[in-house]
Amino acid sequence: MIAEQLMVQSAIGNWTRTIQRVSSTFKVLPEAKFYETVAPGRNRLIYLLGHLTASNDGMLPLLGFGPRLYPAFEETFLHRPDRSVDPLPSPAELLRCWVEVTNRLQDHFTSLTPSEWVQRHQAMTDEDYVKDPGRNRFAVLLNRTSHASFHLGQIILATK
């Protein structure tokens, strides 16, 4: 296998492992636990699940895969802090959205060629891309994997 294919495989694998750890953590979580914070005064688990769902959902338009599935989540879980929107979706509903968004992304990820991975993402103009070709789909994937790991580290504190 050539280098660029191995790199794509590694990056998708790293993303998938991270997402699966989030999924498996929340899937066995009793409903009441969703409303606990990761540390005193910090975000609640339900907010972090919504935040990661909204962040992943935003990858669909950013990577050119289509519109967000849950556009209202952008305001609730990205623009506003925890405890400022009431009521939130239920844990069961949020988990269904999480699974749907991550499955949708996974389908797109596995269909891209290596050269499609390094094409510019949709928030950039062609001119910007010429100046900075590092801002491409692949970079977005790595960056969002780190973002998910960052919050997974917090989630684990409240659930293990």
Phi, psi of 14 (to 5 degrees): -65, -45
DSSP annotation of 111 reads: T
**Measured from the CB of residue 110, what is the shortest distance to its own copies in angstroms?**
14
Contacts of 140 (CB under 8 A, 6+ apart): 59, 62, 63, 121
Name the residue nearer to its own copies (CB basis): 122 or 146: 146
Helix (H, G, I), strand (E, B) or coil at 134: coil
Nearer to its own copies, 9 or 90 (CB): 9
- Min dist. Cβ of residue 21 to its own copies (A): 9
CB closer to its own copies out of 76 and 144: 144
CB of 93 to its own copies, least distance (A): 25
CA angle 112, 129, 17 (to 5 degrees): 40
Least Å distance, CB 67 to its own copies, is: 25
Closer to its own copies at the Cβ: 19 or 60?
19
CB-nearer residue toward its own copies: 83 or 96: 83
Least distance from C-beta 31 to its own copies, angstroms?
Answer: 22
Determine the Cα–Cα distance for residues 95 and 93; give it in Å rounded to an integer: 5
Identify the sign of the CA torsion 123, 129, 135, 141.
positive
Cα 121 to Cα 61: distance, rounded to the nearest angstrom: 9
Q: Which two tokens stand for residue 116?
A: 């499609």
The binding site for its own copies (CB under 8 A) comprises 1-4, 6-11, 13-14, 18, 38-40, 42, 114-115, 117-118, 133-134, 136, 138-139, 142-143, 145-147, 149-154, 156-158
